[in-house]
Structure 1
Amino acid sequence: MLRYTLWRLALMVPITVLISMIVFVIIQLPPGDFVTTMTARMSQQNESVDPAVLEALRARYGFDQPVYVQYWKWVSGILLHGDFGQSFDWNSPVDDLIWDRLGLTLIVSLATLLFIWLLAFPIGIYSAIRQYSLGDYIATFLGFIGLAIPNFLLALILMWLTTEYLGWSPGGLFSSEYINAEWSWARVGDLIDHLWIPVIVLGTGGTASLIRIMRANLLDELQKPYVEMARARGLSETRLLLKYPVRVALNPFVSTIGWLLPNLVSGAVVTAIVLSLPTSGPLLLNALFAQDMYLAGAIIMLLSILTLIGTLISDLLLAWLDPRVRYE
């Protein structure tokens, strides 16, 4: 296992380099550059643009240089100095923009992941061991509803209910007095007060999906001969259930770590916009629209690295959880 782990860690280096190349190509694919986008924006506002100023901006940001020179300037700044570059649209270092938002994004994502597991695990087990019971039908119905309702629509419904019946606006992650405040216990408490709506909205679809997966896998395991053999040897039903079939059926929960976290970070853009969440999703969308390549590239790179790390963690946990899985 140690050899496999070291091999995977070493393999992440060339994969990260390849990802950085693909990311840079993707953000360079739209025609024009940030200066072109800025010129179009000013023209829509009937503002004149001096061509000399545009050329100076292109020279300042290196847009007049070949693509490979721009790529090397970007990736060498990250590797050698930890510098993700300058955001053209915000006129600010990318580091100052992404770290605070990325931290809040990870808080929302981890809280959502915990919410999904705490609900999907027991409900999935109950639906399997009480197949075709009233509770199973209710869980199945709610699961289909959770999969069918778009997150942004559920967000709008919860915002209306909260505003109408509780008398406070659920937008954002902080109250107005804590938005730019320093971190304190009062700010943490205010964050927790605002966190439950994004967690419910983002976790509904994932919970419904994992309930169905847990139920199907556990039903498949309960029909296998080793369960009947353990039952015939007098093993109690609870111990039998938790020690063998549930442990095997947990594989989907562990394997989702690799894709669920980056999916929550990048896939909740519309929901984050609806709920006015200060997360990385809306920031990435605005950067792509403005062709702010350093900001967009930094966020996409961090999401890619998060995917690699999550996949490694899920593979190692899967080998620890299921003795049948071996990587040697």
Structure 2
Amino acid sequence: MLNYVARRLLLMIPTLFVISALVYVIIDLPPGDCVTSQIDELLSRGDPDALRRADELRHLYGLDQSLVTRYFQWVGGIFRWDFGLSCQDTVPVKDLIGERLGLTMVMETSTIAFIWIVSFIIGVYAATHQYQVGDYVASFIGFVGLAVPNFLLAIVLLYVGKVYFGLSIGGLMDPEFIEQPMSWAKFVSISQHLIIPVIVIGTSGTAGMIRRLRANLLDELQKQYVTTGRAKGLPPLKLLIKYPLRHAINPFVADIGHLLPEVISGSVIVSVVLSLPTTGPMLLGALKTQDVNLAATFLLFVAVLTVIGMLVSDLLLAVLDPRIRFGATSEK
């Protein structure tokens, strides 16, 4: 297994290199650059020095160099934790993503934990109580979660919380803690404000995983080895955990690598609606203004988490299912 992990880690290097190159090129493809909108604003004001200012800004951001040169300068700076300058307020990217990145990690981790726990409990219950009231309720939750967009659910909760309960749902903490260092009071405030975003963002992912786990477990429960186990007198809970659940959970665990980018992409619009100080709104703004360094840094971060999630899911699959062997070859 150590050899397999080492190979996968080495494979991550060219994978992330290709992803970063594609992301950087695609963001830079549309006509214009991050200076264009700033210069258009100066020209609309009748500023006679707008064109000179444009040349200065392009030189400051390195936009007067070729795309290949800018890309390799950005990649080289990553190893020094230097992601270049952002066109937003002309500050280093690392200064912009500091606290937002931490809050985003907290929110995404909480959302993924919510999805796993809720979908596992409801999926197992629905499969073991087929065609009962709990099964119909779980199916209803699944259909609603898949059908209702996250941003629409966020708007509904904003309205209900404000009108009927007098609650301020927006943001990830109370206003007095925004510029304050971390403390117990700030931690409690963040935890309270996380509840609504986690539910909103996790609803669609939970719905899909409930349906998949229920279908897989129902298929396993109908197999002959389960009938044999019942005939031998195995307790229902022991029989469920030891055999069919271990097999049915494989696709559930395999979704770890795919779940993270889905959660992050789904949280962008929700973060805008709920005014969350995460990387979502900043990423959206960076893409709109062609802030290549800022947008590419965020997307590379997502790619790193995705490949790590795929590795973790593969390792967990090997632990859960002894039939999986790394590097094994079939023998006739």
Aligned counterpart, 2:35: 35
Aligned counterpart, 1:217: 216
Which runs of 4 or more aligned residues in structure 1 lie more than 6 Å from their structure 2 counterparts after TM superposition?
none
Contact 1:39 1:49 in 2 (8 A): no
Residue 119 (structure 1) aligned with residue 118 (structure 2):
yes
Contact 1:37 1:291 in 2 (8 A): no
Contact 1:106 1:265 in 2 (8 A): no
Once residues 241 and 45 of structure 1 are traced to their aligned partners in structure 2, the CA distance between those partners, rounded to angstroms, is 71
Aligned counterpart, 1:177: 176
Q: Give, in angstroms, the shift of residue 218 of structure 1.
A: 0.2
Shift of the 67–132 alpha-carbon distance from structure 1 to 2, 3 Å rule, reads same
Q: Give, in angstroms, the shift of residue 10 of structure 1.
A: 0.8
Once residues 90 and 317 of structure 1 are traced to their aligned partners in structure 2, the CA distance between those partners, rounded to angstroms, is 44
Residue 166 (structure 1) aligned with residue 165 (structure 2):
yes
Shift of the 149–44 alpha-carbon distance from structure 1 to 2, 3 Å rule, reads farther
Once residues 49 and 262 of structure 1 are traced to their aligned partners in structure 2, the CA distance between those partners, rounded to angstroms, is 44
Contact 2:62 2:70 in 1 (8 A): yes
Could you tell me which amino acid in structure 2 is paired with residue 129 of structure 1? T
TM-score by length of 2: 0.94
Contact 2:226 2:244 in 1 (8 A): yes
Aligned counterpart, 1:15: 15
Contact 2:87 2:291 in 1 (8 A): yes
Shift of the 158–230 alpha-carbon distance from structure 1 to 2, 3 Å rule, reads same
Q: Give, in angstroms, the shift of residue 178 of structure 1.
A: 0.7
Aligned counterpart, 2:2: 2
Shift of the 107–45 alpha-carbon distance from structure 1 to 2, 3 Å rule, reads farther
Contact 2:143 2:207 in 1 (8 A): yes
Could you tell me which amino acid in structure 2 is paired with residue 172 of structure 1? G
Shift of the 236–278 alpha-carbon distance from structure 1 to 2, 3 Å rule, reads same
Once residues 83 and 271 of structure 1 are traced to their aligned partners in structure 2, the CA distance between those partners, rounded to angstroms, is 29
Aligned counterpart, 2:192: 193
Which range moves more in the overlay, 192-201 or 52-61?
A: 52-61
Shift of the 320–45 alpha-carbon distance from structure 1 to 2, 3 Å rule, reads farther
In structure 2, stretches of 5+ residues that fail to align are 328-332
Once residues 108 and 99 of structure 1 are traced to their aligned partners in structure 2, the CA distance between those partners, rounded to angstroms, is 15
Alignment of 1:1-328 (within 5 A): 1-44=1-44, 47=47, 49-79=49-79, 81-328=80-327
Once residues 221 and 127 of structure 2 are traced to their aligned partners in structure 1, the CA distance between those partners, rounded to angstroms, is 9
Which range moves more in the overlay, 254-263 or 177-186?
A: 254-263
CA deviation vs aligned residue, 1:134-192 (integer Å, no higher than 9, x gap): 22112111211111111111111111111122212110001110111110000000001
Shift of the 217–48 alpha-carbon distance from structure 1 to 2, 3 Å rule, reads farther
Root-mean-square deviation (CA), in Å?
Answer: 1.4
Once residues 46 and 154 of structure 2 are traced to their aligned partners in structure 1, the CA distance between those partners, rounded to angstroms, is 37
Once residues 285 and 120 of structure 1 are traced to their aligned partners in structure 2, the CA distance between those partners, rounded to angstroms, is 29
Once residues 216 and 46 of structure 1 are traced to their aligned partners in structure 2, the CA distance between those partners, rounded to angstroms, is 65
Contact 1:267 1:281 in 2 (8 A): no
Percent identity of equivalent pairs: 51
In structure 1, stretches of 5+ residues that fail to align are none
Q: Give the secondary structure class of the aligned counterpart of 1:34.
A: coil
Once residues 145 and 44 of structure 1 are traced to their aligned partners in structure 2, the CA distance between those partners, rounded to angstroms, is 48
Once residues 137 and 59 of structure 1 are traced to their aligned partners in structure 2, the CA distance between those partners, rounded to angstroms, is 62
